[in-house]
């Protein structure tokens, strides 16, 4: 099999993991597309190129972000530096069931300006990649004109054989309103080759009554290949005819559900893009997510 070149577009932030008593916090680096890139890199190994595409600052915390990403074997060739802006920051705390609550400081992050300048190369610099991965978080931080340019470029990218993978990681606070979020995420579904939606995100945004309605709407929007993430129930193929029944083991323990979906994406894509076996990829993604939620933080130790 030839080497794959995969670009993951998004935002890397400084993560503060707050202790249970709220008095101390450990610093880390996280962001949904970056998390997916790292788990993809771990799954695929050195024979493939995984790049994280974003913009950070020129400050010590930005240096920390780049060093961390590179330490995971992910390319930082397309990680640009803004002269004055800083990276985003968020704090995270979890309850006894492992469920998360977040506080964000990201409205003026450097990542919001990636591809916004008329002086940069634009999305054309990504034309040599085989696969582009983005999430709805990636879309939400980009201005509408940048999104429009992305889809214009994406049309030619896909016509030349490139694949677009999309995850509807819906965060209401990042969008002006539901109407814009629905429009942009629907537009993404109509352009994607591999869909990795989560059932709770889709139902929260579109008001679907159950997962069958989610699947029907996705198929109506042109989605054919991919899986619907359903947490502990395990993923479900969007095209039910593509795979036989697969059983999914329950998680042994749940400490922190951070990056459950991101790690699923990485495990699923690492397997599917190299084997083409949807059932095997579903199991690989689910098993990896189970391991990740048994640890605190987005990135578990190797």
The residues annotated with a catalytic role in the active site are 262
- Judged by phi (left if over 0) then psi (alpha if -120 to 50, else beta), residue 136 lies in alpha
3-state SS class at 263: helix
Inter-residue contact 46 to 270 (CB < 8 Å): no
What is the spatial distance between Cα 196 and Cα 13, in angstroms, rounded to a whole number? 22
> In Å, what is the CA distance from 246 to each residue of 43, 197, 237, 283?
21, 18, 10, 8
Give the pair of three-digit tokens for residue 230.
């359903």
Give the pair of three-digit tokens for residue 122.
């634009």
Residue 211 CB burial class (10 angstroms; 0-12, 13-18, ≥19): middle
Q: Where are the alpha helices (DSSP H) in 5-59?
A: 32-44
Phi/psi of residue 192, nearest 5 degrees: -90, 150
């Amino acid at each position: 099999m030839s080497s794959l070149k995969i670009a993951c577009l998004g935002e890397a932030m400084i993560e503060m993991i707050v202790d249970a008593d709220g008095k101390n916090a450990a610093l880390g680096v996280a962001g949904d597309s970056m998390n997916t890139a790292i788990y993809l890199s771990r799954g695929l190994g050195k024979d493939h190129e995984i790049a994280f595409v974003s913009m950070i600052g020129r400050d010590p915390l930005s240096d920390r972000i780049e060093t961390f990403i590179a330490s995971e074997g992910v390319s930082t060739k397309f990680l640009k530096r803004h002269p004055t802006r800083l990276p985003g920051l968020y704090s995270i705390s979890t309850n006894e069931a492992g469920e998360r609550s977040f506080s964000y400081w990201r409205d003026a992050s450097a990542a919001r300006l990636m591809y916004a300048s008329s002086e940069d190369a634009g999305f054309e610099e990504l034309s040599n990649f085989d696969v582009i991965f983005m999430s709805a978080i990636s879309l939400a931080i980009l201005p509408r004109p940048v999104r429009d340019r992305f889809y214009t470029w994406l049309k030619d990218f896909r016509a030349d054989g490139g694949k677009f993978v999309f995850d509807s990681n819906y965060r209401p606070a990042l969008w002006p309103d539901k109407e814009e979020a629905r429009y942009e995420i629907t537009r993404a579904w109509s352009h994607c080759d591999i869909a990795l939606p989560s059932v709770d995100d889709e139902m929260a945004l579109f008001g679907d009554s159950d997962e069958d309605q989610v699947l029907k709407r996705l198929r109506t929007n042109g989605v054919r290949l991919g899986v619907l993430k359903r947490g502990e129930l395990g993923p479900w193929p969007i095209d039910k005819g593509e795979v036989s029944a697969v059983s999914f083991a329950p998680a042994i323990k749940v400490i922190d559900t951070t990056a459950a979906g991101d790690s699923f994406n990485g495990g699923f894509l690492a397997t599917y893009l190299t084997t083409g076996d949807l059932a095997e990829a579903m199991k690989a993604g689910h098993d990896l997510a189970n391991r990740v939620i048994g640890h605190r933080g987005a990135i578990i130790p190797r």
